Amino acid sequence: MAENKTENAKLGAIAGMSFEEALAELQELVKRLERGDNKLDEAISAYERGAALKQHCEMKLKEAQLKVEKIVLGADGKPTAVPADID
């Protein structure tokens, strides 16, 4: 029960992170895992947090993608904004 609250608090902290903060932490986790000097349970926890950070980064990128618009000239010569084709 207490472990579940701790896990929820950690995931809640991720939700409040900016893309850049989450990416920086994810990069640091990857470096530590690649060194391989963690105990197994620490490596598993780091991997789980990394997966949550990755998901958060993907969500932030998707949100940004939906906000991006491009300016085009309409048939009447007036500029209008349309969603960008980013895929």
- Domains annotated for the chain, with CATH where assigned, are 2-83 (1.10.287)
By C-alpha distance, which of 55, 80, 57, 78 is closest to 69? 80
Across the chain, where does the E strand assignment appear?
69-73, 79-83
pLDDT for the residue 66: 76
Residue-wise pLDDT for 1-36, tens only, equals 455 556 656 666 999 999 999 999 999 999 999 999
pTM, 2 dp: 0.69
